[in-house]
């Protein structure tokens, strides 16, 4: 006879089961993702049939950790959305990430293989046992001749040797299998510890004035997604334009796979908030000394000394704030739709740029598949051919190499975001650079790397070096020679920067400066030469100055 408590628990379980399973289940298809720098808005769709009156549908293939304030559901044909509740699927015993699931599948496959090897070892041991018993045949089969007995023993020996070799092989296989299983199980435990976001479900209550069918559109924002830009810069030669390939590293860990969907990339960030700040009255008040713990104060300590004391009782006298925006630069390259890596020229036909809103949005019409693995996947955004003028740039005091730079104007319409660049020149990869337009004015200077065919030297001129004592002062003269040698087959334009020291002390004077025709900027001390160096030519420039300072002092030169 069932106890009363058991019947109560059974009733609760049946009620819960009714709540969970009575609704119609419907999987939604993710159609579009608008990916922000931090977060993404997913748009899904499903076609449903509704009876007249109220009904509930449990939609699956919904992302986990949804921003519920962003949930937006729409239906047609007069259907009214009465309520919507997001819920996790707690009936799943164990939710694994795609990586963990792949490891689990490998473990199960190897375990099945191990079972076969174990069975084969059992059979081999049985056969060895039977042959071992036949070694007594000489004692029990006295009717056999010596020749027959020898032949039988040779057969047993050969068969037994083969079985023993098979046994050793199976044991070695089992040992390697167990070692592999041990490593996979440890790796599986590590994957389970990672922050994997499982998917969720959405329970929606509808009211329909009549039996009808309708399309349901569901959109919401998830935090576990984002993108960061990256660029490829390619220059074929100094007569060609700069080819800039705009790319995006897209990642998501929303709990659902973005399977063959359209993607838009937005420079916005919904987590920053949309409300403009408002100024509040700024009230001034007299400074109040920090109250220290009882027994710490001394009546003879004044307010100035108190300010010098360390913080006590957990009181902090300082603070800081930071920018929470982060960019993800490094990613794993994955081809586009269905593994097809389309030429960049054709990618441009599928990308539209929308600047009508507050943020820039790149609408990519090609479908992409982004797994829910938190890894960065490369998406081609757009390409540009940028008219550019080229120059070489050198600062011999800091670096003796010449750097090739592309100078680009009208860059404001490119909708660029600060990011790393992969630079290719004359078909070869030359290194990484960085595009940062936040401090760029009219012209953007993009570094294309070092050119070892331009040889630069900066040497101190010992003949002009002198130190003189005049009264209570010392006059010290410095001189440097900068040589630029062009070993390329064509003439080059190169900008060379040097500098003269600047004094912030009235006792230190800079005299007798020689800028050798260079343009001089008084506020910074910068000396600039704009030079045209012919093939095989070596051009030299000189900079010199005298520093006057009191005897007994040392200057930082």
Can you point out the beta strands (E) in 191-311? Answer: 200-208, 212-222, 225-235, 242-252, 258-266
What's the pLDDT at 180?
86
Q: What is d(CA 447, CA 434) in angstroms, rounded to the nearest whole number?
A: 8
Q: What is the pLDDT of residues 339-391, one digit of tens each?
A: 333 344 444 444 554 444 447 888 987 899 998 888 899 998 888 898 898 99
* CA 5/CA 206 separation, integer angstroms: 36
CA quadruple 58, 61, 64, 67: dihedral positive or negative?
Answer: negative
Mean pLDDT of the chain: 78
65 contacts 218 by C-beta, under 8 angstroms: no
User: 111 CB contacts (<8 Å, ≥6 apart)?
Assistant: 181
- Name the percent of the chain lying above pLDDT 70: 73
Label residue 174 left, alpha or beta by phi (over 0 means left) and psi (-120 to 50 means alpha). Answer: alpha
Predicted TM-score of the model (pTM) = 0.59
Q: Sorting pLDDT into bands at 50, 70 and 90, what band is 487?
A: very high
The lowest-confidence range among 42-56, 301-315, 458-472 is: 301-315
**Cβ pair 350, 383 in contact under 8 A:** no
The winner for highest mean pLDDT among 18-32, 151-165, 365-379 is 365-379
| Eight-class DSSP state of 313 | T
Domains of the chain, earliest start first:
98-193 (1.10.287), 387-557 (no CATH)
User: Which residues, 6+ apart, have CB-to-CB distance to 84 below 8 Å?
Assistant: 71, 73, 202, 203, 204, 205
Q: Is residue 292 scored above 60 in pLDDT?
A: no
Query: What span, in angstroms and rounded, lies between the C-alpha atoms of 229 and 331?
Result: 10
Helix (H) / strand (E) element for 136: namely none
Residue 254 contacts residue 370 (beta carbons within 8 Å): no
- Tokens 């329970």 correspond to 203
Pick the more confident residue, 19 or 76.
76
pLDDT of residue 116: 82
The partner residues of 213 in beta bridges, in order of sequence, read 49
pLDDT reported for residue 352: 54
Report the range out of 43-52, 135-144, 152-161, 239-248 with the highest average pLDDT.
43-52
Copy the structure tokens of residue 496.
């060379």
Find, among 443, 447, 425, the residue nearest to 434 by Cα. Answer: 447
């Amino acid at each position: 006879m069932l106890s009363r408590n058991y019947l109560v628990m059974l009733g609760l379980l049946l009620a819960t089961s009714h709540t969970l399973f009575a609704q119609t289940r419907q999987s939604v298809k993710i159609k579009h993702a608008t990916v922000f720098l931090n977060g993404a808005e997913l748009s899904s769709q499903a076609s449903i049939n509704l009876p007249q009156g109220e009904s509930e549908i449990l939609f699956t293939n919904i992302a986990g950790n949804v921003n519920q304030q962003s949930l937006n559901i729409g239906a047609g044909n007069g259907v009214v959305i009465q309520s919507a509740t997001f819920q996790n699927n707690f009936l799943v015993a164990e939710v694994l990430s795609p990586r963990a699931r792949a490891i689990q599948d490998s473990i199960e496959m190897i375990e099945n293989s191990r079972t076969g090897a174990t069975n084969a070892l059992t059979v081999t041991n049985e056969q060895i046992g039977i042959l071992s018993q036949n070694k007594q045949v000489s004692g029990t089969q006295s009717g056999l001749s010596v020749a027959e007995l020898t032949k039988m023993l040779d057969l047993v020996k050969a068969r037994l040797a083969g079985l023993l070799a098979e046994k050793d092989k199976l044991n070695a296989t089992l040992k390697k299998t167990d070692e592999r299983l041990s490593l996979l199980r440890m790796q599986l435990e590590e994957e389970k510890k990672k922050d994997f976001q499982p998917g969720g479900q959405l329970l929606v209550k509808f009211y329909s004035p009549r039996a009808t069918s309708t399309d349901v559109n569901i959109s919401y924002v998830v935090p576990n997604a984002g993108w960061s830009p990256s660029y490829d810069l390619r220059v074929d030669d100094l007569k060609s334009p700069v080819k800039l390939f705009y790319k995006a590293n897209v990642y998501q860990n929303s709990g659902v796979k973005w399977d063959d969907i359209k993607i838009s990339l937005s420079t916005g960030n919904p987590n920053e908030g949309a409300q403009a700040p408002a100024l509040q009255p700024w009230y001034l008040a007299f400074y109040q000394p920090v109250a220290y713990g009882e027994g710490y104060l001394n009546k003879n300590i004044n307010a100035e000394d108190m300010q010098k004391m360390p913080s006590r009782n957990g009181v902090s006298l300082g603070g800081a704030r930071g920018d929470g925006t982060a960019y993800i630069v490094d990613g794993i390259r994955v081809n586009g739709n269905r593994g097809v890596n389309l030429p960049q020229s054709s990618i441009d036909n599928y990308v539209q740029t929308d600047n009508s809103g507050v943020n820039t949005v790149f609408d990519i019409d090609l479908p992409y598949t982004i797994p829910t693995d938190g890894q960065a996947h490369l998406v081609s955004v757009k390409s540009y051919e940028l008219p550019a003028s080229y120059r070489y740039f050198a600062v011999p005091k800091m670096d003796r190499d010449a750097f090739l730079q592309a100078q680009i104007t009208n860059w404001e319409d490119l909708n660029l975001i600060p990011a790393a660049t992969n630079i290719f020149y004359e078909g070869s990869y030359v290194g990484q650079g960085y595009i940062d337009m936040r401090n760029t004015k009219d012209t953007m200077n993009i570094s294309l790397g070092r050119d070892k065919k331009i040889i630069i030297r900066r040497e101190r001129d010992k003949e002009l070096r002198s130190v003189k004592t005049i009264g209570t002062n010392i006059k010290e003269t410095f001189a440097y020679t900068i040589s630029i040698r062009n070993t390329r087959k064509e003439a080059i334009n190169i900008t060379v920067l040097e500098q003269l020291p600047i004094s912030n002390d009235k006792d230190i004077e800079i005299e007798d400066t020689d800028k050798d025709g260079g343009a001089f900027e008084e506020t910074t001390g910068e000396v600039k030469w704009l030079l045209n160096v012919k093939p095989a030519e070596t051009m030299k420039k000189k900079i010199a100055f005298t520093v006057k300072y009191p005897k007994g002092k040392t200057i930082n030169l």
